[in-house]
Amino acid sequence: MMPRTIPLAIGAGVLSALMFAWFTFDPTLALMISPFTMLPLILIGLSGTALTSGLAAVSAILVVGLVGGSLSVAALYAAAEAIPALGLSRLALRKRVGADGVARFTVAGPLILSAAFYMAALFLVLYVALMGRENGMLGALSGQFSAFLGTLSRPDASPADIATSAETMALLFPGMAAAWWLVIVLLNLSVAERLLAKWGRNLRPALSLGRMYLPRWLVALFGVCSLLGLVGDGDLSFIGWTLGLIFVVPFMFVGMVCLHALCRNWGPGPLALIGCYLFMIILIVSGYGAAPILAVAALGIAEQWIKLRDRIGGPRPV
């Protein structure tokens, strides 16, 4: 008799594939469900074996290829959803036994860091793959954004202004897309853990995001990438900005954890936290761009030295 976990894994893969391909049926609904495309795969990954996790990923890729009718669509799904879901769930279940005989699972910091390096590597692979095209990846994106802006601009809009705007969007788009993907990954991991804990199917302890810690060398790596983006020219600046935007996201998570720790033991803390997030949203909408997010990331960077959570009696970073 076929084990029950096998059809469950295949079903999770099919569900993830249909969620990914829902843009072809209902784009409006797809915008709401697309952030959770990875969730069925992570649910199987954190509650099953390597076999069931791999089976879910493979079945999802095959269904996406059939529904999308294109090998490139299946490859996009595999790179952005199936492979990271499989890899991160297996990494989350990896454990080592310490000298005290206690088994310790991979903690939140290395998981998020692994996702960031995966996305950085994926970007570099795509960059190299597009080097054969005229003006490479940056030129291809600039052309796409220029055509898009041309359809939206006023008839009297200057072609030079359109080209400048398109180049700026092309410069920042890959990094912003990758940063958003990292946020989605953490969201899916958190939701999957909560659901599996509720169902009694989680194979590991909670991630404990409040104890997230990042190595100090990541600060240096982020600084080098940011400096390359600021002083570099052309493709060098493009690579620097993209990698900088990717590597700032883990610090943003740590900064948010510090904000929560500051408000935890304070009476009006929950209201202050809500007010802080609303203030950040207002600043972003008002045209201040990523400044509020970078401020939170700066707090996450400073946490590597000031140890704010230790000082206020919060969860000890690990």
SS3 content of the chain, % helix, strand, coil (to 5): 80, 0, 20
Say whether 96 sits in a helix, a strand or coil: strand
The reported pLDDT for the residue numbered 1 is: 37
In this prediction, residue 23 carries a pLDDT of: 75
Compute the Cα dihedral for 93, 16, 109, 256 and give only its sign: negative
pLDDT at 124: 94
| Tokens of residue 193, six digits | 């853990």
- Residues in the chain with pLDDT < 50? 1
Q: What percent of the chain has pLDDT over 90?
A: 38
User: Can you give the pLDDT at residue 62?
Assistant: 94
Q: What are the extents of the domains in the chain?
A: 1-93
What global pTM score does this model have? 0.87
> pLDDT by residue (tens digit) across 260-287?
887 776 666 677 777 777 777 776 666 6
